[in-house]
């Protein structure tokens, strides 16, 4: 996949899908800005990439704060001269309550990170992409943004929003050499899945029963799709949601 020498920002890259994606981009020759709200976690990913002779740099950012997003993108452009790709991965999960039981603070927190944070990153990145005449956005949505996800109202709302924002922006900038796509992972081995299974261990058998492949996805499998969408191999793809769910949506 052709991403050699591309400058790539990945939010929420200190763990899970974000970490795997950072490692994959570096493996294929990109320079990766590993961003996370936890700078220590981000730096550990940078160190791992450096150990494998990759190029990476850590920047702390809370995507729910617009000034942090501006600093993330402006610092990247100042340091490397441009920005080729931004992967909007940072996200958090809810407390798994039915809609009438949902806590207002949980709604506000999830929407702030998963929805508003993606909007902030898209807004600032697009301003840079328009200046330089090209760019690529890959948003990490979810199967919960495509189909019903009970006891998950804030997370589902945020991920449906990410799919909608992806499609809207793709149409707006299709003639500007800017592509916008999303990936929609199903149940993937990650901190969010661990959170669910720790709260309800009985869900392990339930979830696997609805996955035709009878297993969870691996973060490396999601990362491969993200790198592919960001590569020069997919120049005619925009506004798409690539579903990686082991057949669950079937």
Query: Which active-site residues does the annotation give?
Result: 155
Q: Are the C-beta atoms of residues 56 and 34 closer than 8 Å to each other?
A: yes
Which residue, among 71, 211, 96, has the nearest Cα to 156 in the 3D structure? 96
Radius of gyration of the chain (CA): 17
What's the first-to-final CA gap in the chain, in angstroms? 29
Which residue, among 202, 184, 203, 197, has the nearest Cα to 244 in the 3D structure? 184
Q: Where are the beta strands (DSSP E) in the chain?
A: 7-10, 31-36, 55-60, 85-88, 135-140, 178-185, 241-244
Euclidean distance between CA atoms 44 and 42, whole angstroms: 5
| DSSP letter string, 173-190 | TGGGTEEEEEEEE-SBSS
């Amino acid at each position: 996949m052709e991403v050699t020498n591309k400058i790539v920002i990945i939010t929420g890259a200190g763990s899970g899908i974000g970490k795997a994606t950072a490692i994959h981009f570096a493996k294929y020759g990109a320079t990766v800005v590993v961003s996370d709200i936890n700078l220590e976690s981000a730096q550990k990913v940078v160190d791992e990439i450096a150990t494998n002779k990759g190029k990476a740099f850590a920047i702390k950012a809370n995507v729910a704060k617009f000034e942090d997003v501006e600093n993330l993108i402006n610092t990247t452009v100042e340091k490397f001269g441009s920005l080729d790709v931004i992967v909007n991965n940072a996200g958090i999960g809810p407390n798994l309550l039915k809609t009438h039981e949902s806590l207002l603070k949980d709604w506000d927190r999830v929407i702030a990170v998963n929805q508003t944070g993606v909007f902030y990153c898209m807004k600032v990145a697009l301003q840079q992409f328009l200046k330089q005449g090209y760019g690529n956005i890959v948003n990490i949505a979810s199967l919960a943004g495509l189909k019903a996800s009970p006891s998950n109202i804030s997370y589902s709302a945020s991920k449906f929003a990410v799919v909608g924002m992806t499609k809207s922006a793709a149409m707006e900038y299709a003639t500007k050499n800017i592509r916008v796509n999303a990936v929609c992972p199903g149940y993937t081995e990650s901190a969010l899945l661990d959170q669910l299974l720790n709260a309800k261990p009985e869900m392990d058998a339930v979830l696997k029963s609805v996955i035709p492949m009878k297993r969870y996805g691996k973060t490396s499998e999601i990362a491969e799709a993200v790198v592919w969408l960001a590569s020069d191999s997919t120049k005619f793809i925009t506004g798409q949601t690539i579903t990686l769910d082991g057949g669950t949506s079937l």
